[in-house]
Structure 1
Amino acid sequence: MTALLTVAGVLTTPAGALALVGPAPVWSLLLGLLGLGSLYLGQVFLLRQRVRVEVRSSWLDPIGWTLAGAAAMIGLVGPAYQRLAGIDLAQADLSMASVALSLSSALFAASTVVRCGVREDPRVGWLSLGAVSILGSQVLLMLHAVGVGIPLLTAQLSMAVTSFAYLAVLYARPETLPPRRPMPWRQHVLSGLVTTLTALVVILGVDRSAPMVPALALAVGAIGCVGVIAYVTVRDVVALQGSHEEALTDELTGLANRRALLRALAGGPHGQYGAALLLLDLNRFKQVNDGLGHHAGDTLLRQVARRLRGEIPPEAVLARIGGDEFAVLLPGAGALDAATLADTLTQALRTDFSLSDHVVNVGASLGMAVVEPGCWNPPFEAAAAELMRQADTAMYVAKAEGRGPVLHEERHDDDARTRLTLLEELRKALRAGHIGLHYQPQVDVRDGRVRGVEALVRWQHTTRGTISPFHFLPLAEDAGLMPEITATVLEQAVRQAAEWYRTGFAVPVSVNLSADDITPDLETTITALLRKHRLPPEGLVLEITETSVMHDPTAAAMVLRGIRELGAGVSLDDYGTGHSSLTLLLRLPVTEVKIDRSFVSSLPDDARHTAVIRSTIELAHSLGMHVVAEGVETHAMLGALRELGCDISQGYLHSPPVPPAELPGILRHSGVAVLADR
């Protein structure tokens, strides 16, 4: 577009410039003005390419300059030029307007050179040279017209330079165009003041006769243009301020975001007064988000934000830094102040939250880091990042240990490095086949015979021995390794069950699934594994939890229905700990219900838990399901379950989880009773 407008200007501008020599038709001057306007628009398009942030007042300013300059030229210079050049009033006015437009274009070109430079984009230099040359040509032609003695050839040579400069734009090729900053606001203010003062001089300094009407009209127009520029500039500033606020604000909660928090950390006088940073992570947010949907999760986050805002002091900065993590910056606070506020915040979040038809309790894990006065050293951005890291490390310790707020200590950094090392070793262990299974028997409550086993994952570490899943599964989940671990567990469990079946021990194996495992591909995966290892479908039971299917129960029901059609069993694990158990029992193709150990552990003394277990067993039996009780550790628990009519008992009373090689001995000792419809 710049090249096209430049060509149009080069073809039409000479008609107006040569008309300055003496009497000429009005159309030639109008054509010259049109050409100058085309050249000016070419400069505008070039500027928009070179400046990333478009400020409209950058190209509106020259319009005001042109109007004010034309008014001054017509009102103050025009009468003398008309008399000396021997031309009529219209030609004199148009000539003055043409010179004013050229002057504005030259000034605009000069400002473009200052802002953009000419090294990466030679077009800027050629356009600027053309604008200055055409202004010089016009001045020379006017001086020749009034008899100053300037040779016409000099002006013509200047016009030739003009044409050459503008045509060079067509061949100039810019390099990679780095973004340039727009003109500073103070320059726009100065430009507006100069334009306004020039227009006022014309209005106050010329007479009110008819010949001066064009000059007065242009002066008024210049002032009006300044008003438009002021309005546009103010609107741009307001919009820019709004964008700035949006960039520093969390859209969901209205709190500060991570960028704003880091800016507050790096920009505050923490080196002189010290500061404390608290990082807070909701404990059971994922269950709410998966179980009740993202809308409920968003509602919960907004409620948490309001509750936290009501507890922090006015000088503190509260931010949501991502997901379900919040941060509080306490300027000038020490460890005691941080601990006091941390206790207040964690206590505030222990109260239930109301989400439509549901009441949830999430709680939070909170980590703290403190910088003492005089210990905040530049570069402050790096110091802010280090404080964030320390608080995050302390928060992870609080979450992993399940205790109250934790203040960062140096030993926590060692623990963090250990976790990173453990995670890397886990990746290698998966590739090396060091992730294996132990199996815990599930015993018939009535006759003590084994009716199934549950596969429990173990990590056989080369130097640390057997590592419990409680230590490495959270790491795997954070690192996105759960799909790989589930695939490994399913492969080993189906292969092992098939071996037992072939040796005469028809023992169904239960495998736990996560929410990410319940996908439309699950049926295909299970079918392939059963065929590969030639295991009858009734030899596999898939255990799911309530929270793993609550995000989309309809889709989960379709997937699990396909599993049931294969002949495999479906067990609802941790029954009673969620919020929609009855609904799930009706919607999902469940063959078995597992009562959570938190209810079983209080048997037979807790009457309330006993009533819950009794009602669960009766409900499950009425729906044609079997009931498994987890965490059975005493004969008193087993006796109570037998009286309540429970079907299967699982726990350390019968056997801890054992390696696959030890299970046949347990099966021979106890006998095997297979549930064909399980």
Structure 2
Amino acid sequence: MLQDVYALTPATARLDPISRLPDRVQFAADLEKLACQHPGQSRTLVLVDALDMAWAHGMTLAMGLAPFEDIIRCITSRLHEQLDGVVQVYHIGVKRFGFVLAATGDDFPAFIEGLVDSLRRPILLDSLPIRPTVRAGSVDFALNTEAVGDVLRKAMYAGELALRAGLRWAPFDPVRDAAYRRAFYLLADIAEALADGQLSLRFQPRFAIADGAQVSAEVLLRWQHPRLGAVSPAEFIPVLERNGMIHEVTRWVIDSALVRLAQWQGQTFGQLSINLSPMDFDGHDVSGTLRRLCHAHGIDPQRLEVEITEGEWLRSNPRVLGELAQIRALGIDVAIDDFGSGYSNFSYLHEIPANVVKLDQSMVTGIEGNPRYQKIARSILNLARELGYRTVAEGVETFRCLQMIREFGCDEAQGYFFAKPMDEGQFLAWSESGVFPLAQ
């Protein structure tokens, strides 16, 4: 493994006041100088994160700033022991150190993991052994082709990957980085999307299997991003859930759906079914929101259904069960979505204040060629019917699939065999045509 050695003049170098190492500004200046001397050559930046942010914050609250600074000095000393005369170490941030290698070989993983192990040795502070939560990230780059800030960002993201995976060290992953950055920008853009009409609704009809009558339509959310184009809900919904913004979007969906229902008074397609996220129940009055919005738009709550995904989050939260009971008391149907997807437990089914069970789409789609799915589907439908639930199969794509769920006693069906999700105009025209596949 070849290394770059930077000979800095202490009199002119910018030094961190705690570690007395060259700081980030000096690092940027040195890297630019190196790029001028060796344009296009490959290098590897290694960033060492001395302490987990949450842990460091807790320690400073408990012990003050002085012990934190002592740890930084100790880490600096250990880096000198391991790397002095080999590479120049920089104090890049409050708890981050960095150095640049000219080239790395097969021994690099062992080298960097050994370095992290040496830095993780306990540090004795006031007779209390502190074990630094050190991790490292690295990124390969070409001199004079990337901004210093972006190289640092990539190395920091690599360190974050190490933290998430519980590893000592991780290399930069461009695919995961692109997905992470895209998710970040989607989150930043959601407020503008709500205000500028980038979000829209689609409607997918649902039918009674007995006579082919359209009984409801599921409301589906779509995002047409001005730069990224169509963004799948499977991508942006989890981003909103992780960052606590899903409630605003759900409220927009409910309000927009009720506006449509108010405009469509007299239409005979039945209910609109709206998906709720588990995060919608996190400190929010969902039943109150539904009650107020139905009243504001003059909509009978019985024209609504809400869909929730059954899982441990639901069964272990009495407050959520209470919210669902209040929603049912309003006259709104409650459907357990994706039942049979792996989390479902028959023993809890009767405890959930719901009156509709939707069979998981993956099971329905694969039911024709999978005897195991057939047995599971038949069992779920039989039990749900005995407990008084209305049953729905979503993901019906073929006539044979429809025949099978009819034989199993399912009440309603939804899927591409009948109709794909449609915009408002298409949905209204389609509903008014009276052409329902099961009625023919």
Q: TM-score, normalised on structure 1?
A: 0.42
In 2, Cα distance between the equivalents of 1:420 and 1:471? 12
Deviation of residue 532 (structure 1)? 1.4
Could you tell me how far apart the structure 2 residues matched to 1:514 and 1:587 are?
19
Q: 1:560 to 1:588 in 2, by over 3 A?
A: same
Aligned residues: 326
| CA-CA distance at 1:273 after TM superposition | 8.6
What corresponds to 1:498 in structure 2?
Answer: 262
Amino acid aligned to 2:218 = E
Higher CA-based Rg:
1
Residues 145-156 of structure 1 mapped to structure 2, 5 A cutoff: none
Q: Measure, in 1, the Cα distance between the counterparts of 2:251 and 2:398.
A: 35
Following TM superposition, by how much is the alpha carbon of 1:672 offset from its aligned partner in structure 2, in angstroms?
8.0
Aligned to 1:658: 422
Matched, 1:607 2:375: no
The CA distance in 2 between the partners of 1:608 and 1:671, in whole Å, is 34
**DSSP-derived class of the 1:550 partner:** helix
Q: 1:432 to 1:645 in 2, by over 3 A?
A: same
* Structure-2 residue corresponding to 1:524: 288
State the 1:480 CA deviation: 2.2
Alignment match of 2:233 (pick from 454, 461, 469): 469
- Point out the structure with the larger helix share: 1
Residue 544 of structure 1 contacts residue 571 of structure 1 at CA under 8 Å; is this kept in 2?
A: yes
Q: Distance in 2 between matches of 1:581 and 1:635?
A: 29
Matched to 1:528, the amino acid is R
- Specify the alignment match of 2:306 in structure 1: 542
State the match for 2:380 in structure 1: 616
Q: d(CA) in 2 for partners of 1:565 and 1:314?
A: 62
3-state SS, counterpart of residue 204 of structure 2: strand
Give 1:603 deviation, angstroms.
1.1
* Relative contact order, higher structure (CA 8 A, sep 6+): 2
Contact 2:397 2:415 in 1 (8 A): yes
> 1:455 and 1:383, CA in 2 relative to 1: closer, same or farther beyond 3 A?
closer
Query: What are the equivalent positions in structure 2 for 1:474-489 lying under 5 Å apart?
Result: 474-489=238-253
Say which SS state the counterpart of residue 587 (structure 1) adopts.
coil
- Summarize the Cα distance change of 1:263–1:478 in structure 2 as closer, same or farther, 3 Å threshold: farther
Question: CA, structure 1 residues 448+414, in 2 after alignment: closer, same or farther (shift >3 Å)?
Answer: same
Q: Structure 1 residue 588 and structure 2 residue 352: aligned?
A: yes
Q: What SS is found at the alignment partner of 2:350?
A: helix
Aligned to 2:155: 387
Post-superposition Cα deviations, 1:60-116, rounded to whole Å, max 9, x if no partner, equal xxxxxxxxxxxxxxxxxxxxxxxxxxxxxxxxxxxxxxxxxxxxxxxxxxxxxxxxx
**1:450 aligned to which of 214, 221, 229:** 214
Q: In the alignment, is the contact (CA less than 8 A) between 2:286 and 2:323 conserved in 1?
A: yes
Is 1:509 the counterpart of 2:277 in the alignment?
no
Q: Which runs of 5+ in 1 are unaligned?
A: 1-242, 249-256, 275-311, 320-326, 331-368, 376-381, 399-404, 674-678
Distance 1:265 1:471 in 2: 42
Matches within 5 A, 1:22-37: none
Q: Which residue of 2 aligns with 1:647?
A: 411
Q: Give the residue type in structure 2 aligned to 1:594.
A: K
Q: Provide structure 2 residue ranges, at least 5 long, that are not aligned to the other structure.
A: 1-54, 61-67, 89-112, 122-132, 144-149
Q: Give the % identical residues.
A: 29
Aligned Cα RMSD in Å? Answer: 4.2
Q: CA-to-partner distance for each residue in 1:379-429, whole Å, 9 max, x for gaps?
A: xxx998863323437999x9xxxxxx9952557655554444333222211
Question: How far 1:545 moved relative to its partner?
Answer: 1.4
| Closer/same/farther in 2, CA of residues 504 and 410 from structure 1, 3 Å limit | closer
Shift of 1:586: 1.1
The 1:553–1:393 alpha-carbon spacing in structure 2 relative to 1, beyond 3 Å, is closer
Q: 1:585 to 1:428 in 2, by over 3 A?
A: same
> Deviation string for 1:515-560 (max 9, x for gaps)?
2323572222111111111222211001111237436432222211
Cα displacement (A) at 1:370? 3.1
Higher strand proportion (structure 1 or 2): 2
Q: TM-score, normalised by structure 2?
A: 0.63
How do 1:93-172 residues align onto structure 2 when only pairs under 5 Å count?
none
Structure 1, residues 22-67: CA drift from partner, whole Å, max 9, x if none? xxxxxxxxxxxxxxxxxxxxxxxxxxxxxxxxxxxxxxxxxxxxxx
